[in-house]
C-alpha cells in the first residue's frame, strides 16, 4: 500500500508541475495533460509494483536464511496476492474517501448536468479496480518469477486500458462494462496460475469434499 | 433556524396562486421559497409562518419600490416608551388619536423560526430562478421528478426567547466560565453632541446658564440585518441639523449670546429611544455636564424631506401646555420659529392642541421634566414616508435625482432640489436658534449652504467613500468608508454613521488650528490647548491634485461622544418597561448554497446495494477460505523458490 501511495505521490507531482507550467485556459491542452498524467501514473504504479517485487525477493532470501528448515514461511504467491490486495485497497481508499466525505451533505451531484448515478458508478468502478489490482499482483509476480515478459506487458496494457476507459465517463457503459470484462479475464487467468482448474471449480460449486 | 442549516426544495413565488403549491399541493415539502419583493407583506408572511412546509425564505428586492408602500415597522412606533401613558395624556397613548405609521405591518417584530435572506443582486436571483426552471417546474399539474433543485440557508441565532433569557445566560457564562459563550449583546453606540459656546465636558454647567437643545436621530432599521438606508426617517433630519449647525457657527457674535445651543445627534432612537433615554438618565444622575434644569427649550427635527407645498409642521405636547408658564414659553418658541421662516421657501404651521407629539426623542425629555419644545416634521398626522423603517427608504424616496453621466466627483458637488429644500429648512432652524439664544441682530444673513447639504446627502445616502469624507476623517479610520451607507445602530461601536457625523460636525463647526501632529494628538501636553473645552482631531486632509499624498491638519471642535447604552443594562433590569431593552443575538456563520437533491428511493437503493455486496463478499470469502484446498491444487511451479 505504501508503495502505491508513493507512486501516486510522484505521478501527481509530475502532473501538478505540468498543469502549473501550462496555460489554464486552454481546454484541450488541460484535457491532454490529464490523459498524459493518468498514463504516466499507470506506468509509475507498475514500476513500483516491480520494485516491490524486487524487494520481496530479497526478503524471501533473508527469511529462508533465518528459517530452521530452509523453507520460507510465506511463499511468493502469497506475497503476490497480498501485494495486489494492498495496492487495490489503497487505490480504492483514495478513490472513495473524498466522495464519501462529500456525500455526507444534503445534496447530490448534478447541478451542472452530471449524472445522478455518480455515487453508484464510482463505487462499482472502485470495486472493479480493487479486484483488478489483486489479480494483476498475482499475474505480475508470476511473470517476474518465471521470466515471462508477455505476462508483465499484459498487466500493463490492461491497466492502461482500464484507466483509459474512464475517460468515457459519464457514458458509464463505456467504462464499467469493459472493466468488468477485463476483470473476469484477469480473474480466470490468475486463478489458473494459482493452481486452480475448471475441475476444481466444479467440485467446489457442487459442494463435493 | 437550525444550527446545521435549513434545506428545502426551491419554489419561485411570483404571484399569490404560486403559494398554494407550497402550502398545500406540492409533493416534496419542505420548500425554500424565492419570493418576489412585491409579495413580501404581512398576509403572505403570516401564512408562511403558520405552516411547517416552509423551511426558509429568500426575498428578491422589488425594483422599483412597491407603489403601495411598505413598512415593517409598527403602526405606533416606540409605543409605550414615549411620554404618553395612562398617567399622562391617556387619550393620546397607544396612538388613539393619531396613527403615525398607518402602513406599518409590524413584520419586523414577528418571530420567524426559519431563515429569511434578502437577495439584492438580480444576477443571483436569476441563477436560482434558472435552477428552478431547469428542474423544479411542475409539469401538467403533477409534481416534478427528482433530482430537484434545493437551497440551504445557514443563519443560526444563538439567542432565544427574550432579552431577559439571553442576558441571564450570557451573564452566567461571563461570570462562571473560562471561555464564556455570550449569546446576545445589547444595542450600543454613542450619541454625538456639540455646543455652540464651549463648555467643560468633564465639569458641570451652572444652573443659571441655559441651553437650547437641538436634536435629531441618526439611525434607522429595516426587516433585514444591517440594511437601513433611512433616507427620510434619519438622514434627511440629521443632514438638515448639520447644515443648521454650520450656519449658526458662521455668525460673528456667537460668543456673546446669552444662551448656549447644544446640537445633539441621538443614536439608537429606532429601538425605543436608546440614546435619548440614556442622556436623560445621565442628566438626572449628574453624569452629564448639563442637568435638566439647564434646558431652556427643545427643538427636534424629525422627517423633513417630503414637505407638501413647502409646509413644515410644528408639533407640541398639549398636556404640558396646560401649565401656564410652559404654555407661554412654547408660544414664544412657536412665534420665533414662524418669524424665522419669512423670506425662506418654508411655511410653518402649527399642528394644534388636538394632536400629540409624534414619536420623537423630545418625549423622553418630557417624561423627566416639562420642558417647552417643538418637533418639526413634514407631516401633520400620518407620516408622509410610505417606507418608514424599511429597505425601500432610499434616496429615490426623498426625490433625490441626479442627471445621467456624471462622474462621482461631479455627483458629489451637484446640488439637487432635495438639497435646496433641506437647506431652506436648515436656514429657518438656524435663524430661530439664533433668536432663541438671545441674539438681537438681523438674521437674514444666516443661511445654510445647499452645497454642503448636497455633499452630505451624497455621502450619507449614496457613496460614503467620496473625496470629501476621506479628507475629514482621521488617517487610521480610512477603512470605515464602505460603499453603500447603512444606518443601523449595531452592537459594536461606534458605527460608521456615528464616526462620520462626528467628523462632519467637527469639520463644519470647528476651527483649523496650527498645531503639529504630536501636539494635536496629545493636547494635554500643549499648554494653551484648553483640553477640557475642546476636542482635537488630526484629520487626513484632501488629496493634493496629481499626487497621492494628503495635507493633514488639526481641527479643534466642541464635538463629544456620549455613551448610548440603555439604562436598563446599567441597572441590570433586563425586563424593564421603562427603558429600552433591545439586544441583538450572536451568530457564527451566515451563508447560502444551492444544489440538487436526490430522491429518497435512490438513496435507499444505494445503501441497500452496498450492504448486499458487503454481505455477499463476506460470505464468498468465508467459503473460498474454507474450501481453499479444493479450489487450489498444490502449486506445480518449478524452480521459483530460489535458495
The shortest CB-CB distance from B632 to any of A71, A108, A196 is to A196
Cβ of B631 within 8 Å of Cβ of A106? The answer is: no
- Closest by alpha carbon to B186, among B567, B480, B562? B567
* pLDDT score at B549: 83
Alpha carbon distance B61, B58 (integer Å): 9
DSSP state of B231: I
Residue B184 has pLDDT above 70, yes or no: yes
Number of helices (H), then strands (E), belonging to chain A: the values are 7, 0
Q: What is the pLDDT of residue A31?
A: 85
For residue B239, give the nearest of B454, B529, B533 by alpha carbon.
Answer: B454
For B640, which residue in chain A has the nearest alpha carbon?
A: A145
Counting residues of chain B whose pLDDT is more than 70, the rounded percentage is 98
**Arithmetic mean of pLDDT, B344-372:** 91
Higher pLDDT, B140 or A138: A138
Q: How far is B35 from chain A (nearest CA, A)?
A: 22
Between chains, do B640 and A76 touch, taking CB under 8 Å as contact? yes
Instruction: Output the nine-digit C-alpha cell for B124.
Output: 443571483
Strand order in the sheet with B553-557: B511-513, B553-557, B535-539
Check residue B643 and give its pLDDT: 36
Contact B633 A75 (CB under 8 A): no
To which H or E segment does residue B193 belong?
strand B188-195
In this prediction, residue B72 carries a pLDDT of 93
Identify the band that residue B141 occupies on the pLDDT scale cut at 50, 70 and 90: low
Mean pLDDT, rounded, for B597-619: 91
Give, as one character, the DSSP assignment of residue B16: T
- How many Cβ pairs closer than 8 A exist between chain A and B? 76
Reported confidence tier of residue B334, pLDDT bands at 50, 70, 90: very high
- Where is average pLDDT lowest: A18-27, B86-95, B259-268, B603-612? A18-27
- Residues of chain B with a CB closer than 8 angstroms to some CB in chain A: 5, 7, 131, 146-147, 149-150, 152, 594-598, 602, 606, 609-610, 613, 627, 630-637, 640-643
Q: Residue B620: CA atoms inside 13 Å, Cβ hemisphere, count?
A: 6
Q: Where does the pLDDT of residue A132 fall: very low under 50, low under 70, confident under 90, or very high at 90 and above?
A: very high
Q: Each residue of A15-30: pLDDT tens digit?
A: 888 888 887 788 888 8
Chain A residues within 8 angstroms (CB to CB) of chain B: 60-61, 64, 70-72, 75-77, 105-111, 116, 119-120, 123, 127, 145-146, 194-197, 200-201, 203-204, 208-209
C-alpha A64/C-alpha A41 separation (Å) is 34
pLDDT over 60 at B642, yes or no: no
Q: Which uninterrupted H or E stretch holds A27?
A: helix A27-66
Please report which helix (H) or strand (E) contains residue A118, including its range.
helix A118-145
Average pLDDT over residues B341-367: 90
Query: pTM for this one?
Result: 0.84
pLDDT of residue B107: 92
Collapse the DSSP code of A56 into the 3-class scheme (helix H, G, I; strand E, B; otherwise coil) and give the result.
helix
Report the chain A residue with the minimal C-alpha distance to residue B605. A120
Q: What is the pLDDT of residue B637?
A: 43
Contact A195 B131 (CB under 8 A): no
Instruction: Give the Cα separation of A29 and A36 in Å (integer).
Output: 10
Average pLDDT over residues B497-518: 91
CB contact under 8 A, A106 and B596: no
B312 SS3 class: strand
Helical H runs in B346-403? 362-368
Q: What is the structure's pLDDT at B504?
A: 94
**Alpha-carbon distance A58 to nearest alpha carbon in chain B (angstroms):** 11
Segment B167-188 shows an average pLDDT of: 91
Q: Which of B596, B630, B642 sits opposite A107 (nearest CB)?
A: B596
Tell me if A106 and B595 make a contact (CB, 8 A cut-off). yes
The per-residue pLDDT for range B525-572, each reduced to its tens digit, is 777 767 788 888 898 888 877 878 888 899 999 999 999 999 999 999
Q: Give the closest-approach CA distance of A142 to chain B in angstroms.
A: 9
Distance separating alpha carbons of residues B491 and B182, to the nearest angstrom:
13
Predicted pLDDT at B529: 66
At residue B45, does pLDDT exceed 80? yes
Strand-pairing partners, residue B531, are none
Mean of per-residue pLDDT scores for chain A:
86
pLDDT in the model for residue B638: 37
Interchain contact, B635 vs A195, CB within 8 Å: yes
**For position B213, what pLDDT does the model report?**
95
**pLDDT, tens digit, 9 for 90 and up, residues A73-92:** 788 888 888 989 999 999 99
Check CB contact under 8 Å for B631 and A196.
yes
pLDDT value at B639 more than 70 = no
Query: What is the interface pTM, i.e. ipTM, of the complex?
Result: 0.85
Chain B residues touching residue A67 (CB < 8 angstroms): none
The DSSP line for B437-500 is TT--S--TT----HHHHHHHHHHHHT-SS-HHHHHHS-GGGGGG--SS------SSSS-HHHHH
Check pLDDT > 90 for residue B126.
yes
B chain contacts of residue A116, beta-carbon cutoff 8 Å:
146-147, 596, 598, 602
Q: Which three cell numbers stand for residue B172?
A: 452566567
Task: Indicate which of B6, B149, B154, B598 best probes the interface with A, i.e. most A CBs within 10 Å of its own CB.
Answer: B598
Break chain A into its structural domains and give their ranges: 1-195
Residue A112 banded pLDDT, cuts 50, 70, 90: confident
Residue B515 scores a pLDDT above 90: no
Per-residue model confidence (pLDDT) at position B640: 40
Domains of chain B: 6-70+105-156+590-601 (no CATH), 188-510+558-565 (3.40.630)
User: How much is the pLDDT for A208?
Assistant: 60
The shortest CB-CB distance from B596 to any of A71, A110, A208 is to: A110
Distance CA B211, CA B167 (A): 38
- What is chain B's mean pLDDT, rounded? 89
Write the CB contacts of A31 (distance below 8 Å, at least 6 apart in sequence).
Answer: none
Query: What confidence score (pLDDT) does residue A66 get?
Result: 83
Distance from CA of B63 to the nearest CA of A (A): 29
Helix (H, G, I), strand (E, B) or coil at B14: coil
pLDDT score for B130: 92
- The DSSP output letter for B546 is T
pLDDT at B634: 61
Amino acid at each position: 500500500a505504501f508503495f502505491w501511495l508513493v507512486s501516486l505521490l510522484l505521478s501527481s507531482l509530475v502532473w501538478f508541475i505540468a498543469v502549473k507550467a501550462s496555460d489554464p485556459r486552454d481546454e484541450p491542452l488541460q484535457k491532454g495533460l490529464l490523459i498524459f498524467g493518468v498514463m504516466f501514473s499507470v506506468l509509475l504504479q507498475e514500476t513500483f509494483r516491480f520494485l516491490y517485487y524486487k524487494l520481496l525477493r530479497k526478503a524471501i532470501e533473508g527469511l529462508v536464511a533465518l528459517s530452521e528448515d530452509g523453507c520460507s514461511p510465506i511463499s511468493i504467491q502469497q506475497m503476490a496476492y497480498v501485494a495486489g490486495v494492498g495496492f487495490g485497497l489503497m487505490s480504492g481508499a483514495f478513490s472513495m474517501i473524498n466522495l464519501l466525505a462529500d456525500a455526507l451533505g444534503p445534496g447530490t451531484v448534478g447541478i451542472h448536468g452530471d449524472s445522478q448515478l455518480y455515487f453508484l458508478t464510482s463505487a462499482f468502478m472502485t470495486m472493479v479496480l480493487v479486484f483488478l489490482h489483486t489479480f494483476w499482483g498475482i499475474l505480475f509476480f508470476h511473470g517476474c518469477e518465471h521470466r515471462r515478459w508477455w505476462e508483465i506487458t499484459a498487466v500493463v496494457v490492461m491497466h492502461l486500458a482500464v484507466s483509459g476507459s474512464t475517460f468515457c465517463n459519464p457514458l458509464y457503459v463505456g467504462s464499467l462494462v469493459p472493466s468488468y470484462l477485463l476483470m473476469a479475464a484477469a480473474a480466470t487467468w490468475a486463478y489458473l496460475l494459482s493452481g486452480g482448474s475448471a475441475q476444481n471449480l466444479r467440485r467446489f460449486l457442487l459442494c463435493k469434499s | 433556524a437550525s444550527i446545521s442549516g435549513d434545506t428545502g426544495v426551491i419554489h419561485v413565488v411570483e404571484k399569490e396562486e404560486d403559494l398554494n403549491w407550497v402550502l398545500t399541493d406540492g409533493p416534496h415539502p419542505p420548500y425554500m421559497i424565492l419570493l418576489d419583493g412585491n409579495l413580501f407583506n404581512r398576509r403572505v408572511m403570516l401564512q408562511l409562518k403558520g405552516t411547517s412546509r416552509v423551511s426558509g425564505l429568500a426575498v428578491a428586492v422589488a425594483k422599483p419600490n412597491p407603489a403601495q408602500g411598505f413598512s415593517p415597522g409598527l403602526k405606533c412606533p416606540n409605543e409605550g416608551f414615549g411620554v404618553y401613558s395612562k398617567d399622562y395624556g391617556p387619550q393620546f397613548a397607544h396612538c388613539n388619536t393619531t396613527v403615525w405609521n398607518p402602513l406599518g405591518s409590524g413584520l419586523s417584530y414577528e418571530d420567524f423560526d426559519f431563515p429569511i435572506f434578502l437577495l439584492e443582486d438580480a444576477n443571483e436571483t436569476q441563477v436560482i430562478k434558472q435552477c428552478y426552471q431547469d428542474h423544479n417546474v411542475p409539469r401538467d399539474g403533477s409534481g416534478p421528478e427528482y433530482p430537484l433543485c434545493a437551497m440551504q440557508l445557514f443563519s443560526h441565532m444563538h439567542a432565544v426567547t427574550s432579552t431577559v433569557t439571553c442576558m441571564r445566560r450570557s451573564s452566567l457564562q461571563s461570570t462562571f466560565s473560562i471561555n464564556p459563550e455570550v449569546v446576545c449583546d445589547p444595542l450600543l453606540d454613542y450619541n454625538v453632541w456639540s455646543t455652540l459656546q464651549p463648555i467643560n465636558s468633564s465639569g458641570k454647567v451652572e444652573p443659571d446658564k441655559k441651553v437650547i437643545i437641538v436634536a435629531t436621530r441618526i439611525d434607522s432599521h429595516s426587516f433585514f440585518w444591517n440594511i437601513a438606508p433611512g433616507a427620510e426617517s434619519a438622514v434627511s433630519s440629521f443632514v438638515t441639523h448639520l447644515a443648521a449647525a454650520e450656519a449658526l457657527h458662521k455668525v460673528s457674535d456667537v460668543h456673546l449670546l446669552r444662551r448656549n445651543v447644544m446640537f445633539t445627534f441621538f443614536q439608537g432612537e429606532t429601538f425605543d429611544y436608546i440614546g435619548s433615554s440614556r442622556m436623560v438618565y445621565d442628566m438626572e444622575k449628574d453624569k452629564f455636564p448639563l442637568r435638566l434644569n439647564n434646558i431652556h427649550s427643545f427643538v427636534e427635527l424629525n422627517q423633513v424631506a417630503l414637505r407638501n407645498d413647502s409646509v413644515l409642521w410644528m408639533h407640541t405636547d398639549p398636556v404640558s401646555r396646560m401649565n401656564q408658564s410652559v404654555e407661554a414659553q412654547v408660544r414664544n418658541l412657536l412665534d420665533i420659529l414662524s418669524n424665522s421662516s419669512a423670506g425662506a421657501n418654508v411655511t410653518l404651521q402649527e399642528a394644534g392642541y388636538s394632536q400629540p407629539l409624534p414619536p420623537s426623542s423630545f418625549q423622553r425629555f418630557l417624561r423627566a421634566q416639562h420642558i417647552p419644545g417643538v418637533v418639526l416634521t413634514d407631516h401633520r398626522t400620518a407620516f408622509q414616508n410610505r417606507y418608514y423603517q424599511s429597505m425601500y427608504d432610499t434616496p429615490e424616496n426623498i426625490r433625490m435625482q441626479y442627471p445621467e453621466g456624471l462622474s462621482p466627483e461631479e455627483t458629489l458637488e451637484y446640488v439637487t432640489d432635495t438639497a435646496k429644500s433641506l437647506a431652506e429648512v436648515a436656514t429657518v432652524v438656524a435663524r430661530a436658534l439664533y433668536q432663541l439664544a438671545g441674539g438681537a441682530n438681523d438674521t437674514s444673513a444666516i443661511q445654510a449652504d445647499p452645497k454642503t447639504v448636497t455633499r452630505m446627502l451624497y455621502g450619507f445616502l449614496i457613496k460614503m467613500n467620496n473625496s470629501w469624507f476621506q479628507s475629514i476623517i482621521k488617517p487610521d479610520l480610512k477603512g470605515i468608508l464602505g460603499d453603500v451607507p447603512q444606518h443601523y445602530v449595531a452592537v459594536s461601536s461606534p458605527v460608521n454613521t456615528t464616526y462620520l457625523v462626528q467628523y462632519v460636525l467637527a469639520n463644519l463647526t470647528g476651527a483649523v488650528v496650527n498645531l503639529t501632529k504630536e501636539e494635536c494628538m496629545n493636547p494635554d501636553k500643549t499648554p494653551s490647548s484648553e483640553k477640557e473645552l475642546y476636542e482635537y482631531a488630526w484629520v487626513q486632509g484632501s488629496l493634493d491634485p496629481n499626487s497621492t499624498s494628503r495635507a493633514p491638519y488639526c481641527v479643534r471642535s466642541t464635538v463629544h461622544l456620549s455613551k448610548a447604552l440603555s439604562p436598563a443594562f446599567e441597572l441590570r433590569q433586563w425586563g424593564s418597561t421603562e427603558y429600552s431593552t433591545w439586544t441583538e443575538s450572536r451568530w457564527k456563520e451566515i451563508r447560502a448554497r444551492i444544489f440538487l437533491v436526490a430522491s429518497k428511493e435512490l438513496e435507499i437503493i444505494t445503501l441497500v446495494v452496498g450492504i448486499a455486496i458487503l454481505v455477499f463478499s463476506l460470505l464468498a470469502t468465508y467459503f473460498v477460505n474454507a474450501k481453499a484446498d479444493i479450489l487450489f491444487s498444490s502449486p506445480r511451479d518449478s524452480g521459483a523458490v530460489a535458495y
